[in-house]
A = this chain, B = another copy of it.
Amino acid sequence: MGLFIRSLLSQQPRHVWRAYSTAASDITVKAMVYSSYGKPSEVLKWHTYPLDPLTDDTVHVRFLASPINPADVNQVQGAYPLKPAFEQLGDTKAAVGGNEGVAQVIATGKNVNGLQVGDQVVMARSGYGTWRTHAAGPVTDFQKLPPSDKTSVIQKATLTVNPCTAYRMLKDFAPLKPGDYVIQNGGNSAVGQAVIQIAKAWGLKTVNVVRNRPEIDSLRQELMDLGATYVVTDEELGTHEMRTTMKGWFGGKPPLLGLNCVGGKSATEMARYLGHNGHYVTYGAMARAPLALPASMLIFKNITFHGFWMTRWTDQNNEEDRYKMFEDLIGLMDKGALGEPRWTKVEWNEDSMKHAVDAGIQGFAQGKQIVFPTSS
């Protein structure tokens, strides 16, 4: 901004450049915070503190919906590589829990460009607590979402982790053409379901491995309805029959991309189905067992084994590339190709939040747990 313009602006009455009056600094934030790492039910606490007043260079946002993801829980436990700094929040030095969510801009400082009141935003980086009613910060803390009137608040609140992980893994590791196969385990996980839908929209076929269970037929049907090409159980995976069957499916063109969030023996079995020069991407370890690689798979089949962590991708890539991904994904959501994840509502209070975190630890959560932070 040139000197002339700046001096011109400084002569204007301040309120012209504010979206609301100074009374806005009366906003009280309610948040789920922690001041040390440990057992979530012990270290998480309900906390209220005054929202930092709006400045010329900051915005105020109000959170609409925030999920409680497994990684959020690991983070509170101190068992996650991403450790947010403890900041002064009112009378307490603490970090706000949660990493994902959608918020709406409710006020902008006079120097702010790129965000307007009413815009919906996600966090610009991981580790920015989302279990709170409001936040104040510079524009660079937030990233605007592409406009959409068909994508739900649930879809927006859960956009940046699972659908983005699925999107990047399908795009960044193997050169795939329509008609090509992808094989994945955890086909029923949130990422797995996003993989199925995005792959289908892009003309890719998927073989989806799930754990065997009594209600396998209904699960199979559910995933087929989402767009899965085939669903197989981990028990079937290593059998001679399945090897023959899959050969028939692939017709000489075995998958060049495998996606693994399980680990252990069946993850090794899955890797055997990849074709020469294939890529195998690990993004989770639900079985809590390492991935054992026979050397021949590396040396003679030339399978490359990668890891994927959405947090790293976001840190290492620019806003434009992330926005392009959001546009693609919200485009798929708008046309119904990528649906809402299964989710349950968590009440916005201390007890419910702690209960939800516990459910997350114990694996009792049915679908994504989502809170809708409100001041009232």
Contacts and interface: CB of A to CB of B under 8 A. Distances in A.
A298 interface: yes
A376 B268 CA distance: 53
Interface string A242-275: 0000000000000000000001000010000000
A282 interface: yes
Nearest to A311: B300
Contacts of A302: 306-307, 309, 312
B309 A293 contact: no
Contact of A293 (B81, B290, B299): B290
A284 interface: yes
A353 to B, nearest CB: 26
A301 interface: yes
Interface residues of A, number: 28
7 contacts: A282-B295, A290-B292, A291-B292, A293-B293, A302-B309, A304-B304, A305-B305
Nearest to A299: B307
Nearest to A312: B302
A41 B25 CA distance: 89
Top 5 nearest A-B pairs by Cβ distance? A298-B307, A285-B295, A305-B305, A290-B292, A299-B307
Given A282-B298, A295-B307, A304-B304, 15 more contacts: A81-B296, A282-B295, A285-B299, A290-B292, A290-B293, A291-B292, A291-B298, A292-B292, A293-B305, A298-B306, A299-B308, A300-B309, A301-B307, A302-B306, A304-B305
A360 B301 CA distance: 25
State the copy count for this chain. 2
A7 to B, nearest CB: 48
B307 A297 contact: yes
A128 interface: no
Contacts of A305: 293, 298, 304-306
Contact of A299 (B283, B290, B294): B283
Contacts of A299: 282-285, 307-309
Contacts of A304: 304-307
Contact of A295 (B81, B290, B301): B290
A284 B296 CA distance: 9
Nearest to A268: B290
Which one of A285, A296, A307 has the highest number of Cβ atoms from chain B below 10 Å of its Cβ? A307
Contacts of A294: 285, 290
